[in-house]
């Protein structure tokens, strides 16, 4: 038994308790945690804001989470924190400062608002095309027909890959993010499937990079081949490790956000009507829905040294899981945090994480989310979830694999 657990073993002696005595663990692992996690976050903040489970410490107060994310020198985002089948660290997420900054210097300008804004016209055309395919039908599966293809196609276009590769792409990212879909709940099989998929991803990008090596194009991969850090070109492995992260981080997160947002709007017609009546509210609505839904519920860091959070000893090698969704609904930050308000004056959510690893693609994600909400509601201002359908959310990254919507077609 470790020191922290020993110290907290005797109740009533005034020593703080980090074991979660008094909270309902079943709610944490159950479907509510995926479909409607906000009350579960509250249970955690009230009953176990710092919760130790074996070698993991789970945080659900904004202040503790900020502290963790703002100290990468103690709480590392390296490969020990998350292993999803990759054989080298994903760049830049799994690189700690100071090297981290070198990669962000190259990547930040590509994903800065000024650059991203240039994509608005293309993204708009893409959404219009996808929506036009089902707008007159009176129903759609929002997931399969918009939420999944939109970020994947934006990504393919950005990297300069053929649209024919869409299915391959989606299969690769699903093989990493949710291997259970392919091999069931056996953890060993899942790990093997992830590893196998990872190797396929490296091989896929190797092949394309070979092509670009022979002939540059006007795309990101070509740009990476010529990019320099302190006079050195990026190595082939470095480029592969960036691509790996893009595929894992850039597709599923936007898909999940679109699904969570649309499910919310389908079930809250008064909020939806606000957007239909006034499109200029959409940017704020995106921020508020990011706060409330927080599609990426939590992220993990690993302690590089023994330290302490709120009195709880954290040992070297411990995992520290920060619940971003709990931070975003913490009443210490938002007195009315359980109210969804598109006119909220103060919203400093960390749905994109915080600290140096703040989501590189956040500005692109925002663009896709804003354009999708705008164009979808222009064509389909009123809709609901198909009768009798019970939405199923996936845990951790809150995706809704089938989101059937119906509306009155003209």
Partner 1 sequence: VGVEVKVSVTRPPCTGHGRCYSLAPEVYGCDDEGYAVIENPEVPAGLEAQARLGAANCPEDAIVIEE
Q: Who's near 350: CB < 8 A, 6+ residues apart?
A: 65, 66, 69, 324, 327, 328
The two structure tokens encoding residue 85:
């089948």
39 is a contact residue toward partner 1 (CB under 8 A)? no
Taking Cα atoms as reference points, which of 63, 60, 9, 10 lies closest to residue 39? 60
* Of 109-117, 144-152, 155-163, 181-189: span binding partner 1 (CB under 8 A): 109-117
Site for partner 1 in 254-313 (CB under 8 A): 283, 287
* Of 14-22, 110-118, 183-191, 270-278: span binding partner 1 (CB under 8 A): 110-118
346 is a contact residue toward partner 1 (CB under 8 A)? yes
| Residue 316 Cα distances to 53, 75, 81, 159, 185, angstroms | 15, 10, 12, 39, 30
> Which residue in the set 347, 391, 396, 406 belongs to the binding site for partner 1 (CB under 8 A)?
347
Cα–Cα dist 345/327, whole Å: 18
108 is a contact residue toward partner 1 (CB under 8 A)? yes
* Of 103-111, 147-155, 236-244, 295-303: span binding partner 1 (CB under 8 A): 103-111
The residue (of 76 and 313) whose beta carbon lies closer to partner 1 is 76
Cα–Cα dist 355/359, whole Å: 9
Other CB atoms within a 10 A radius of the CB of residue 290 amount to: 25
* Of 73-81, 127-135, 306-314, 347-355: span binding partner 1 (CB under 8 A): 347-355
117 is a contact residue toward partner 1 (CB under 8 A)? no
Binding string, 150-189, against partner 1, x = CB under 8 A? ----------------------------------------
CB 200 within 8 A of CB 169: no
Strand, coil or helix: 368: helix
The residue (of 108 and 274) whose beta carbon lies closer to partner 1 is 108
Total residues interacting with partner 1, rule: CB under 8 A: 25
Taking Cα atoms as reference points, which of 281, 264, 288 lies closest to residue 347? 288
Cα–Cα dist 201/208, whole Å: 11
Site for partner 1 in 356-395 (CB under 8 A): 356, 358, 362-363
Q: If you ran DSSP here, which 8-state letter would residue 145 be given? A: I
Q: Please, what is the Cα angle at 265 between 263 and 271, to 5 degrees?
A: 160
Other CB atoms within a 10 A radius of the CB of residue 392 amount to: 13
Taking Cα atoms as reference points, which of 358, 390, 337 lies closest to residue 97? 358
The residue (of 37 and 72) whose beta carbon lies closer to partner 1 is 72
The residue (of 268 and 348) whose beta carbon lies closer to partner 1 is 348
Cα–Cα dist 17/5, whole Å: 8
Q: If you ran DSSP here, which 8-state letter would residue 146 be given? A: I
Minimum CB separation from partner 1 for residue 118, in Å? 13
Cis peptide before 98 (omega within 30 of 0): yes
* Of 224-232, 244-252, 353-361, 377-385: span binding partner 1 (CB under 8 A): 353-361
The residue (of 179 and 354) whose beta carbon lies closer to partner 1 is 354
Size (the chain), residues: 410
* Of 88-96, 108-116, 122-130, 219-227: span binding partner 1 (CB under 8 A): 108-116
Minimum CB separation from partner 1 for residue 346, in Å? 5
9 is a contact residue toward partner 1 (CB under 8 A)? no
70 is a contact residue toward partner 1 (CB under 8 A)? yes
What is the contact surface with partner 1 in residues (CB under 8 A)?
66, 70, 104-105, 108-109, 111-114, 283, 287, 345-350, 352, 354-356, 358, 362-363
């Amino acid at each position: 038994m470790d020191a922290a657990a020993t110290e907290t073993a005797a109740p009533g002696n005034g020593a703080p308790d980090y074991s979660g005595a008094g909270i309902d663990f079943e709610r944490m692992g159950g479907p509510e945690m995926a479909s409607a996690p906000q009350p579960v976050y509250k249970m955690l903040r009230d009953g176990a804001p710092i919760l130790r489970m074996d070698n993991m410490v789970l945080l659900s107060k904004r202040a503790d989470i900020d502290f963790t994310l703002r100290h990468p020198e103690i709480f590392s985002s390296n490969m020990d924190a998350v292993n999803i089948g990759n054989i080298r660290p994903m760049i830049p997420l799994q690189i700690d400062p100071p090297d981290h900054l070198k990669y962000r210097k190259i990547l930040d300008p590509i994903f800065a608002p000024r650059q991203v804004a240039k994509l608005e016209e293309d993204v708009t055309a893409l959404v219009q095309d996808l929506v036009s395919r089902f707008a007159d039908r009176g129903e759609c599966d929002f997931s399969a027909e918009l939420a999944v293809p939109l970020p994947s196609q934006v990504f393919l276009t950005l990297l300069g890959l053929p649209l024919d590769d869409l299915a391959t792409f989606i299969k690769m990212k699903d093989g990493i993010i949710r291997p259970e879909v392919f091999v069931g709940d056996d953890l060993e099989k899942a790990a093997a499937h992830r590893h196998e998929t990872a190797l396929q991803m490296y091989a896929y990008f190797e092949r394309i990079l070979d092509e670009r090596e022979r002939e540059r194009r006007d795309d990101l991969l070509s740009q990476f081949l010529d990019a320099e850090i302190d006079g050195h070109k990026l190595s082939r492995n470095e480029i592969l490790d960036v691509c790996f992260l893009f595929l894992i981080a850039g597709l599923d997160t936007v898909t999940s956000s679109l699904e969570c947002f649309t499910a919310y709007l389908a079930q809250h017609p008064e909020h939806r009507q606000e957007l239909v009546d006034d499109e200029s509210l959409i940017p704020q609505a995106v921020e508020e829905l990011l706060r409330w839904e927080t599609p990426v519920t939590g992220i993990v860091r690993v302690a590089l040294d023994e330290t302490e959070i709120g009195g709880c000893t954290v040992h070297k090698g411990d995992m520290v899981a920060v619940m971003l969704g709990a931070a975003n609904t913490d009443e210490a930050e938002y007195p009315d945090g359980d109210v969804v308000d598109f006119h909220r004056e103060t919203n400093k959510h960390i749905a994109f994480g915080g600290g140096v690893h703040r989501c590189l693609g956040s500005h692109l994600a925002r663009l896709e989310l804003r354009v999708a909400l705008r164009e979808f509601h222009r064509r389909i201002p009123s809709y609901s979830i198909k009768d009798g359908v019970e939405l199923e959310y996936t845990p951790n990254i809150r995706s809704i694999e089938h989101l059937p919507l119906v509306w009155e077609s003209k």
